[in-house]
A and B are shown apart, each in its own frame.
Chain A
Amino acid sequence: MAIPLSYNLRNLVVRKTTTAMTALGIALTVAVLVAAFALVDGLRLAFEASGHPLNILITRKGSDSELSSNFERRVFNDLKFKPGIARDAKGEPLASLEMVTVISLVSSEFPDGSNISVRGVTPVGLEVREDTQLEAGRWFTPGRREVTVGSSIAKRYPDAQIGKKLKFGRGEWDVVGVYKSDQPARNSEIMTDLNQAASDFEREEVLSSALVRAVDEVAHQALINDLSYDTRLNVQARPEKDYYAQQTSSGDLVRYLGTFVALIMAVGSCFAAMNTMYAAVARRSKEIGTLRVLGFSRRSILLSFLAESLMLSVLGGVLGIVMVLPLNGLTTGIGSNVTFAETAFQLKVSGDAMMRGMTFALFMGAFGGLLPAFSAARKQILTALRQI
C-alpha cells in the first residue's frame, strides 16, 4: 500500500508560502493556455453556428471571400432560376444578389478604426436570413442612405447607434435600426440597400456574391455541383456554413501564439515545481529514511513525491482556471483573414478548455516532480537518515 496522501497534503499546507508561489506559477501558465483556448473556442462557436444548412454562397471562381469576389449582375440573372432553388410565397426565387465592402469604424478598443463589413441586400436577402430579427428601430428603406446594424456592432461602436450617422461611400448614412441573429457571425455586419450601396461605390454591375436557398438537402448538393460545373457562369458555390466555418482559421494565430507562450511559461513552471520538490526532498530526507525503515519501498517513496507534485499542479491548475473564468462570455472582436473585417464573438471557457488546461498542469507537475521523486527514491537509508 502507498504512503497516505494526507502525508503529502499536509506537507503542502505546512510549506504554504512555497506551495502558493509554485502553484501561482503553474496557475499563470494554465491561465494563458485556457484563455487562448477560450478565444479560439468562442470564435469557433461563433462561426460554426452561423449559416443556414440549405443556403449556398456563390462567388466568382477563384475567390476565397465575398470581398475579393467580382460577381456580375448578369451572372446572377442567369443562375437565379436554376432548378433546385427554393421559391417564396409569391413564387420568386430565394436568391439574393449582394455586395460586400468594408468601412472603418472607431471604438474605444480600436481608436484608429477597425474594418467592419457592410452588406448590401435586397428584401430577399432578409428572407434567406430568417434568423435575423429587428432588435430595435427599423429596417433600412430601399433607395435611401440608411443602415441597420448588427447587435455586436451596436454594442461595440459608439457611432453605430440609432439616430447617429455613419460616413462612407458618397455621403452620410443614417443608422435606423439594430438587428440580431441567432447566428453570431451575422451580428458583426451592417446591412443596407443593395442598389444604394452599389451606386455609392460605383459597383452597379459588378457586385460580390449571391446567397441562394435550396429546396432541400438533396437539391442543395445537386445545386452546388450544377453551379460549380457550369463553365458559362464561372462561379464557385459552397455551403454557407462551410464559408463561415472556414473563417475559424482566423483564430489559428492566437491559438499558436497562446500555446507557444504557455509552453515557454510551462518550462519555467516545471523548473519551479522541480525546485520546490527538490527542496521538499532535501528537507524531508530523514522522513524518507524513516519511511524506508518502516518498510515502505523505493517505489512507494517515488509515487508519494510524484503525487505531491501532482497535487501542487492540480492546485495551480484550479487556480489558473479560476483566474480565467471571468473571461467567459466576454465579447471581443478579431479580424478575419477571410473577410478582412472584424467579427465580434464571446470568449468561451468550455469544459473541454478547462480539461486541457488541467491536463497541461498535470504534465507540468509530473515533469517537475519526476526527477526529485527519483532522487528521493534512490536515497540510501543511512544517508537519508543522517542528512539534517
Chain B
Amino acid sequence: MSETVIRTHGLTKEFVRDEFHVVALKDAEMEVQRGEFVELMGPSGSGKSTLLHLVAAMDRPTRGELEVMGFKLNGLSDSEIAKWRNRHVGFVFQSFNLIPVLTALENVELPLKLTHLKRGERVQHAATALKLVGLEDRMGHYPRQLSGGQEQRVAIARAIVTDPDLLLCDEPTGNLDAKSAQEVLTLLGRLNKEYGKTIVMVTHDPHAAHYATKIRYIDKGELLPDGGKPEDWN
C-alpha cells in the first residue's frame, strides 16, 4: 500500500519585492508517494525552488496546507522544525554547501551531532555513508581538496547519513561537468531504487528524466497537473 510522503493543497507563496507583489507559487497541489523519484522542472524563476524550500520548511507558505511525513508543518515552531528536518529530511544543494574547515568525514558527521549517537557510532555511520557514495578514500580530505563531483557526493552522504525518508535536491548537477553530473544522478537513482529513498529533485538537466519515476512541471508559479507540460517546453 502506498504511503503519502508529501501532500500540498492550495500551497501559495507570495512576497513583496521593491514594492512589487510577486506570486512565487500559486495554489500548488501535489502528492508524492513513498519511494517515488519526482523531478520538478520548469524555466528559471518558475517557482521550483520555492516549492522545494517550502517542503523542506526552509520558508513558510503565505497560505495553503502542507503535510510532509505526516507532519503539518504550518503548526510547528522553529525549533520543532529544526528537529523534524534533521530527522526526516536530507537536503542537497546546487553549490554543495560543505563546511570548508571540516573534513569530508566531519561534514558528514555534522547532522549526527544532533542525534543521541556516541562519537564512535557517529564516525562509523559517517564512514558508511561516505563508502556508499564511493569516497571512503577521501574521508580526511577538506572540501578544497575535492573535485566538484566529489564535493557533491560528500553532500549527498551528509544528506543521507541520518537515514532520512525524504531527499530534497535543488539542482544537484547544476554546478557539475557532464561526467560528474552523470555520477551524481546515478547515485541518486541508486538511493531511490536500492534504498527506497523518496526523492524530489529540482533540475534543468534533461538526462535526469531517465532516473525519475515522475516529472512535474512548474510554469510562472503554477504547478501543472500530473502529466501536464508547458506548451513551449522542449
- Please list the residues of chain A having a beta carbon within 8 angstroms of any beta carbon in chain B: 1-4, 6-7, 10-11, 13-14, 286-287, 289-299, 381-382, 385
Contact = CB atoms under 8 A, between A and B. Distances in A.
B78 A297 contact: yes
A286 B42 CA distance: 25
14 contacts: A1-B114, A7-B101, A10-B102, A11-B101, A287-B100, A290-B93, A294-B91, A294-B158, A295-B87, A295-B111, A296-B82, A298-B79, A298-B82, A382-B59
Nearest to A8: B101
B93 A296 contact: no
A298 B113 contact: no
A287 B113 contact: no
Residue with the greatest number of chain B CB neighbours at <10 A, chosen from A4, A289, A293, A296: A293
Interface in B77-112: 78-79, 82-83, 85-87, 91, 93, 97, 99-102, 106, 110-111
Contacts of B158: 294
Interface string B68-79: 000000000011
B53 interface: yes
Contact of B114 (A11, A293, A296, A299): A296
Contacts of B114: 1, 294-296
Nearest to A14: B101
Interface string B17-53: 0000000000000000000000000000000000001
A14 B113 CA distance: 23
A287 B110 CA distance: 12
A6 B103 CA distance: 11
Contact of A298 (B78, B86, B97): B78
Given A290-B93, A381-B58, A295 B99 contact: no
Given A7-B102, A10-B101, A10-B102, A293 B56 contact: yes
The 3 A-B residue pairs with the shortest CB-CB distance, nearest first, are A295-B86, A10-B101, A290-B97
A4 B78 contact: no
Interface string B192-211: 00000000000000000000
A286 B111 CA distance: 16
A294 B101 contact: no
Contacts of B101: 7, 10-11, 13-14
Residue with the greatest number of chain A CB neighbours at <10 A, chosen from B78, B93, B97, B158: B97
A18 to B, nearest CB: 14
Residue with the greatest number of chain B CB neighbours at <10 A, chosen from A3, A297, A298: A297
A6 B82 contact: no
Contacts of A381: 58-59
B5 to A, nearest CB: 18
B79 A6 contact: no
Contacts of B53: 382
Size bin of chain B's contact surface: 20 to 34
B82 A292 contact: yes
B113 A4 contact: yes
Contacts of B97: 286-287, 289-290, 293, 385
Contacts of B111: 294-295
A1 B78 contact: no
Contacts of A7: 99, 101-102
A1 B113 CA distance: 6
Contact of A294 (B78, B100, B106, B110): B110
A302 B101 CA distance: 19
B83 A295 contact: yes
Nearest to B95: A286
Contacts of A292: 58, 82
A297 B83 CA distance: 8
Contacts of A297: 78-79, 82
A292 B83 CA distance: 10
A293 B58 contact: yes
B126 to A, nearest CB: 13
A61 B85 CA distance: 81
B46 to A, nearest CB: 17
A261 B53 CA distance: 52
B78 A6 contact: no
B99 A290 contact: yes
A57 B101 CA distance: 68
Contacts of B79: 297-299
A333 B93 CA distance: 67
Contacts of A1: 113-114
B147 to A, nearest CB: 20
Contacts of A2: 113
B111 to A, nearest CB: 5
Interface string B132-168: 0000000000000000000000000010000000000
A293 B56 CA distance: 8
Nearest to A292: B82
Contacts of B99: 7, 287, 290-291
Contacts of B56: 293
Given A1-B114, A3-B113, A382-B53, A294 B86 contact: yes
A233 to B, nearest CB: 78
A291 to B, nearest CB: 8
A292 B85 CA distance: 9
A385 B95 CA distance: 10
Nearest to A289: B97
B78 A293 contact: no
Contacts of A10: 101-102
A108 to B, nearest CB: 53
Nearest to B170: A385
A293 B85 contact: yes
B82 A295 contact: yes
A294 B160 CA distance: 11
B110 to A, nearest CB: 6
